[in-house]
Chain A
């Protein structure tokens, strides 16, 4: 089963970070298992954020300027990522810009909540 998956996460990378966290196992299959799990996680995040992005694009139908193709440029933004990650239990808050006062960039994010 593990051999058939397209491993986008290289084994060495996974082994390195597993070793850093104290997980030592000589069995390669376990490493592959963790790699597959992370790949699944990654694909989940990607698909969720893609859905958010598409929903964002599809919602405001202004006119036929650039929204017609509906997938002209699907850009992964921090907003979509934040929404996708929230469902996985990761709270990601990205300030849009840095201003002098700490309350300057907080209005949009609070709106987003």
Chain B
């Protein structure tokens, strides 16, 4: 019956000016309905009306129409039909109910719908309506039909043309195809492959070089860092001397043999004047193979036998040709690290006793500094 207790609080909310709350885009339909409602109100006897009240009536009316349509469609679908029948409409009318009082014959079941009370009420209404003077019927043009039809007239010609062009399988009511350039794949202009290959090769070569360089420096750094206390600055190619000092300050063990190049006498800790980068490296390299050769023997002799070191120092420098210069041999670095490990032990164990030994070693090292310069550079 009153299956349509549309909770009209939303209608109640539209107060004051013109009730724009419920409208949602179909403004024209609302305007048309407003005119129809106003006409009906005037015909009923009202002199004027509140605008909000008129808008409320308009909203109710549109909802009524929509509800009728929906229930009629529902009944049609229920019966297995797509298109609605007049009987569906009558059923919908019965369902909606004109009044809470119902209509005559509502309780009777199993009756033909044609003779239903609703229809009779409607007919009575129609008959009664004839008494109303023929007011302006307001014939409207089908303005609502101006929905964006995809198959509008300009496109129809295209569709028709398409039909004749061979797309007869496409029904006419479908929209026309868009411009062919939007979906036809055309050939993309391909760059001449020659230049591309060249560029690729150059790029690859550059990347390979970069990779090699970084790998080399990484290996060197790893080897340097592997040895405790060995300042990686010693073996790593340094762009500036400060880098070496700074790495030293990072907290490596104080190896007197690895102190940065301080002026002689300034610090008694460091007895060895670190040679300039090249020399320093070469010196260590000079020692590296020697010390490696004597690794086991030195260890057995106990850390700190400076005599061994001293003996090592002058002996085996010659065969070393390595130069930890700017392109490098991680091998040399590894050897150096091992050598420095050995040197560490003595330095830590017997600090005071080694002072003058260190001085002597420093002198020898200094002497040996010049020699590696004569070595052939690798």
Interface residues in chain A, defined as those with a beta carbon under 8 Å from any beta carbon in chain B = 1-2, 4-27, 29-30, 33-34, 36-47, 49-50, 53, 71-78, 80-82, 85, 87-98
Judge if B215 is at the interface, Cβ distance under 8 Å: no
Judge if B52 is at the interface, Cβ distance under 8 Å: yes
Cα distance A12–B26 when bound, in Å?
13
B-chain residues with CB within 8 Å of residue A8 when the two chains form the complex: 36, 39-40, 43, 135, 137-138
Does B89 contact A33, Cβ atoms closer than 8 Å? Answer: yes
Partner of A23, one of B64, B84, B134, B145: B84
Known: A17-B29, A80-B53. 6 other contacts (CB 8 A): A12-B144, A18-B68, A75-B48, A76-B49, A94-B11, A95-B15
Does A10 contact B61, Cβ atoms closer than 8 Å? Answer: no
Partner of B53, one of A23, A25, A77, A96: A77
Closest to B136 in A: A8
Does B44 contact A34, Cβ atoms closer than 8 Å? Answer: no
Partner of A9, one of B36, B44, B73, B143: B36
Shortest CB-to-CB span from B68 to chain A, Å, is 6
Does B53 contact A76, Cβ atoms closer than 8 Å? Answer: yes
Interface residues in chain B, defined as those with a beta carbon under 8 Å from any beta carbon in chain A = 1-9, 11-13, 15, 26, 29, 32-33, 36-37, 39-41, 43-50, 52-54, 56-57, 60-62, 64-70, 72-73, 82-86, 89, 93, 97-100, 121-123, 125-126, 129-130, 132, 134-135, 137-145
Partner of A78, one of B32, B56, B99: B56
Does A12 contact B44, Cβ atoms closer than 8 Å? Answer: no
Shortest CB-to-CB span from B27 to chain A, Å, is 12
A–B Cβ pairs within 8 angstroms, 17 of them: A2-B126, A10-B138, A12-B141, A13-B36, A17-B29, A18-B65, A22-B69, A22-B70, A34-B69, A36-B122, A49-B46, A78-B52, A78-B56, A90-B5, A91-B7, A93-B12, A94-B12
A-chain residues with CB within 8 Å of residue B69 when the two chains form the complex: 17-23, 34
B-chain residues with CB within 8 Å of residue A49 when the two chains form the complex: 46
A-chain residues with CB within 8 Å of residue B84 when the two chains form the complex: 23-25, 30
From DSSP, what is the main secondary structure of chain B's interface residues? Answer: helix
Q: What is the total of A-B residue contacts with beta carbons within 8 Å?
A: 227
Q: A5-B129, A8-B39, A10-B36 are contacts. A95–B50 as well, Cβ < 8 Å?
A: no
Partner of A88, one of B2, B9, B40, B85: B2
A-chain residues with CB within 8 Å of residue B132 when the two chains form the complex: 6
Shortest CB-to-CB span from B134 to chain A, Å, is 6
Shortest CB-to-CB span from B189 to chain A, Å, is 50
Partner of A41, one of B46, B83, B98: B98
